[in-house]
Amino acid sequence: MNFIRGTVMAIVLLLQPIVLLFKLLFGRRAQDAPQQLQAINHSAIVPATVVADSEDGIKNSNNISQQSDATGSASSPSAPPAGSNSGDDDSISLPLPFAEYEVFLSFRGPDTRHQFTDILYRFLVRLKIRTFRDDDELRTGEGIWPNLVKAIGQSKIHVPVMSETYAHSKWCLMELSEMAKRRKQEKGHIILPIFYMTNPRDVRHQTGPYQSAFQQHDKDFDSGTVQEWRAALNEIGALKGWHVKSKDEQGAVSECVSDVVWSHLSKNDNFSDTDELVGIDDSVEAVVEKLSLDVGGAAMVGLHGLGGIGKTTIARAVYNKISARFDRRSFLENIRETQQQKDGGISLQKKLISNSMRIDYVAPINSVEEGRRIIQDRVSQFKVLIILDDVDESFKFEEILGNSGNFACGSRFIITSRNMKLLSTFNESRCKLYEVREMGPQLSLQLFCKYAFKTDSPPQDFTTLSEKIVTTAAGLPLTLKVVGSLLFREEKSIWEDKLSMLEKAPQKEVKERLKISYDALEYETKQIFLDVACFFIGMEMKIASYYWRDCKFHPVNSINILLQRSMLKIGDDNEFQMHDQMRDMGRAIVCEENIEEPWMRSRVWDDKEGTELLLNKKGSKQVKAVRADYHRSFLGGMKPGQFQNLPELRYFEAEFAEFSGDFNNLVPNLKWLRLHFHYNDGQEPTNFDMSNLLILTCAYYILQMAKKLKVLDLSHCTSLIKLPDFPKSGSLEMLNLSAEIRSFASFTSMELDIGNLWNLKVLNLKECALKRVTGGTIGMLKCLEELDLTNLQCNNWKQRVVDIGELPSLKVLKTIGVKHIPSYFESSLKVLHTSFRVANLSELLELEELVVENCDFGLEIPPVGDDTNANSTAHMWWKVSKLKSLTLHKTKFIVVAGTAPSFDQLRLPSSLTTLNISNCPYLEWIPTLENLNNLTELTITKCSKVLEVRGIQGLTSLQSLVIDDRDDLIHLCGLADLMRLKTFEIKESAPLSREALLLNDDSDDVFTPKIILYHIDELQGN
């Protein structure tokens, strides 16, 4: 029997290629066979693939046999449509590869297979996004349609590339219909349409080339199927997407699409603070214990250990845990790096003052001594928590902050350093030491797996490899995260290769192990990483991207790869952040280009080396970027001869700088000129080639030579006496005239001409005082996306903002303190800060952040709306609202737009995560909060007439509740239901009953919040 079975199997295997060849040769004819023949054979051979459609609209590659019933109609909604001569799968169903797909590409092969779709696919694959596209996604022997349905269902994101003949393919229309169905029925499915060389209007209304396709479909398919396809095109054609009008746009659009796809997918991969903090609870508790928070006087704790071992992470966790106990707090990061910069000590002092005093602008400080006096006079009077992160020998505590003993009783300082000996020098301040040790094997494996597998433990077939790799990391969290991120979704052979490299790296050399991740990057991603490590930490991502794009790089894609591999972070203000070990590794790589001669390296970031390079007129074609410092030899301006050996210079940064003399086009490739402060002695350079300049800070007099200029920042320009004429080319996209950091008193006699700013995307006029604006109205800047007018003063402003509500691309608008702002805004707004009533709030469906400050008219919000009228605007706002943050400051009223039977009808959007109501003494009531199940932070301060907050029990996600400065504590019911509450802060309260503080303690699973009581007169009750 076994012999017979084996013989039969061998024959089947031999016949398989012949059968496949028969299908390839004759499959298309079989489709045209008479209906009765199909009824007899119960089989129609349909050539198909997942790649794209052939000329006749049938997908073509792996040829799979499929069945239909005698009538040829579909037997289920997920089957091919009636009249398509195909039906349920008759073949062997094999499992799809390793894991579910994340993106499903739907496209018409002849139009885009070897052009746009191929480019987009490459971008997605570079980001390790599992994309269903090619014929290798369907194995021989699999049924085409069931597997297409399966792939669409598995994919979180669907990208239909709707080209001119897309609608001619029944397979494309079937896929599109399935996408639309999934989007309606299942949460989490996202459709990102691309209109490739076709008009979106034709897609929506089935006109143009889509009309002729449907004329044929009306003949070939039943009306129900055709109507379903039309509805899908109408729905998806109306979604926001990308319109590719020429082949030149293919690369840029592909990069943008892949970035949006990755951002959607990475939302589930991002770790919260607690996710990253594997196994540090004991360390946090130990540090808190050493701080002796219940003991008076000032105290200091020093954390020491190897670089990358987690000192900063522990310090941040302690900061988050105890910061609410202090009047003022400040977290000063990267002190070692900051100290190396010009006036680094003053920079630290200004940041400390800004954080502690809660002010954005700190007046210029002329010396460290002056800064220390300010700190001792103003900051030290508060009970402060100060974290000093990554301190080395260059940092002198008393020189920067003064005597720790002079700070208010209860103040605490936490210092992190790699040098235990350095921390012991603080013993005069009774500094207690805590050594941060390497992670143990089990915790190391858990942290590694979070990044390598997105789970707490490895799959069985990767367990041994994972344990070996974890051993090479020597318990260092940074190494575990970076190596884990590098190996995410890689084949086992790649793991084995990286393990071999890790085992060869010296056990104590962290940089060698981190460099393995760097070596795996492609060329342009390496260049972007080195640029950030050397120059752009703290720089806004959007600005740096202009520079990289002009270097023919793809910054969005590269930045996403660096984020994936834990080599880079993006801060809350979209600025670059990088671990100091990663930064040091990047700079070491540049130094290795030439150990002895800095002027032979690609990047000279050390300002002393950069200054020496210029003074000695050194340089080479290798130098692409230089940072220099002020030197007395530069008085009268930097001279041409100092740049004569820098023909490839792209980026130049200096603290103080001026240029004079004939430069004879010495720096033709300069793209970014970044001067932190600027003085002008009246001498202007000649032949200073700015033809390729994209980004300019301070040096305004060369504007007319910069025909490609994209970004102009004059906020640091202290000697500005008149506003320049902007490039007539209209290239400018970002303009910063903010007066936050220096006096603009002279601006009262200046005029701002916006006539040549038609491509402007970002305009910052915060705190400016202008004589007038000329050249048109703000509403003519149709490309504007961000506009900050906070506290702007301008004589003819009323005439210039009449059409500000007509900016179609505007996403961020800040107008607090500005008069004559219209009350109607475009629906595209995502962030709005205002001092005026918003008349069409119910139409701002994209709004995510709303700040109403100094508003005498109150906040007018829609009523709940009549649920029976699903089309009412109010109903839509509450159901669709994306509002996450609402702040009311010095706002008199909350009113209901239109008429409402009672205030009970008023609800805030359930999407809110943060609600802050402060300094509203005339506010008498707050809407019920019972529907805010996503709210995590609630602050109600200085609202003396608000006696009750209803619906507290509905705040199931609330973590922080702050109430202070009250004459009479508001009535809070439902505190016992706040299962996730971590902080309950009450300041300066009247007599407080114990019942008000009753929290649920019936379950061991409930986390009991810390209750912070400031200046409580007495606690009543038993």
Nearest to residue 827, comparing CAs of 837, 840, 814, 813? 840
> 120-134, 390-404, 505-519: which has the highest mean pLDDT?
390-404
Of the given ranges (354-363, 510-519, 704-713), which has the lowest mean pLDDT?
354-363
- Written in H, E and C, the secondary structure of 358-425 is CCCCCCCCCCHHHHHHHHHHHHCCCCEEEEECCCCCCCCHHHHCCCHHHCCCCCEEEEEECCHHHHHH
User: Do residues 217 and 171 make contact, with C-beta atoms less than 8 angstroms apart?
Assistant: no
Give tens-digit pLDDT for 528-587: 999 999 999 999 999 999 999 999 999 999 999 999 888 999 988 899 999 888 898 999
pLDDT mean over 472-490: 88
Give tens-digit pLDDT for 177-195: 999 998 887 777 899 999 9
- Whether residue 369 lies in the annotated active site: no
At 128, give phi and psi (nearest 5°): 60, 40
pLDDT at position 427: 61
Higher pLDDT, 636 or 54: 636
pLDDT at position 1021: 43
Query: How far is Cα of residue 837 from the mean position of the Cα atoms in its chain?
Result: 30
pLDDT grade for 996, boundaries at 50, 70 and 90? very low
Kindly provide the residue ranges of all beta strands, DSSP E only, lying in 599-729, ordered along the sequence.
Answer: 603-604, 625-628, 651-657, 672-678, 695-697, 711-713
Nearest to residue 769, comparing CAs of 789, 785, 753? 789
pLDDT at position 218: 92
The token pair that represents 726 in the structure block: 């902007």
pLDDT at position 904: 58
* Strand 576-577 versus strand 569-570 pairing type: antiparallel
Higher pLDDT, 958 or 506: 958
Percentage of the chain modeled with pLDDT above 90: 32
The C-alpha atoms of residue 144 and residue 148 are separated, in whole angstroms, by 6
The C-alpha atoms of residue 846 and residue 851 are separated, in whole angstroms, by 15
- pLDDT > 90? residue 207: yes
Helix (H), strand (E) at residue 144: helix 144-154
User: Do residues 756 and 784 make contact, with C-beta atoms less than 8 angstroms apart?
Assistant: no
CATH topology identical between 2-266 and 273-435: yes
pLDDT at position 895: 64
Torsion of CA 472, 476, 482, 483, to 10 degrees: 10
Of the given ranges (136-140, 185-189, 763-767, 981-985), which has the lowest mean pLDDT?
136-140
pLDDT at position 363: 78
Question: Among all chains, which residue has been given the structure tokens 């020098």?
Answer: 425
The token pair that represents 945 in the structure block: 């007439």
2-266 is a CATH 3.40.50.10140 domain: yes
523-592 is a CATH 1.10.10 domain: yes
Tell me if residue 847 falls in helix, strand or coil: coil
Higher pLDDT, 254 or 701: 254
The C-alpha atoms of residue 766 and residue 787 are separated, in whole angstroms, by 9
What does pTM read for this prediction? 0.69
> CA angle, 928 as apex, 923 and 934 as ends, to 5°?
115
Helix (H), strand (E) at residue 104: strand 103-107
The token pair that represents 951 in the structure block: 């619906």
pLDDT at position 982: 74
The C-alpha atoms of residue 350 and residue 365 are separated, in whole angstroms, by 8
Percentage of the chain modeled with pLDDT above 70: 75
pLDDT at position 807: 86
Nearest to residue 853, comparing CAs of 816, 885, 801? 816
Total residue count of the chain as it appears in this document: 1022
What superfamily in CATH does domain 273-435 come from?
Answer: P-loop containing nucleotide triphosphate hydrolases (3.40.50.300)
The C-alpha atoms of residue 384 and residue 834 are separated, in whole angstroms, by 32
Give tens-digit pLDDT for 59-115: 333 332 233 333 333 333 334 444 343 333 322 223 333 346 789 999 988 888 788
pLDDT at position 976: 72
pLDDT mean over 904-927: 82
The C-alpha atoms of residue 336 and residue 666 are separated, in whole angstroms, by 35
Bridge partner residues of 1011 (DSSP):
984
Q: Which positions ≥6 away from 268 have C-beta within 8 Å?
A: none
Higher pLDDT, 400 or 420: 400
pLDDT mean over 521-527: 96
- Indicate the angle between helix axes 492-504 and 510-519, nearest 10 degrees: 150
User: Do residues 990 and 967 make contact, with C-beta atoms less than 8 angstroms apart?
Assistant: yes
pLDDT at position 989: 47
Which residue in the list 102, 142, 164, 175 is annotated as catalytic?
Answer: 175
Domain ranges of the chain: 2-266, 273-435, 441-519, 523-592
pLDDT at position 915: 94
Torsion of CA 415, 420, 422, 427, to 10 degrees: 70
Nearest to residue 131, comparing CAs of 159, 165, 104? 104
Of the given ranges (527-536, 767-776, 1013-1022), which has the lowest mean pLDDT?
1013-1022
Q: What is the mean pLDDT of the chain?
A: 77
Give tens-digit pLDDT for 299-339: 899 999 888 888 998 999 999 888 878 888 899 988 988 88
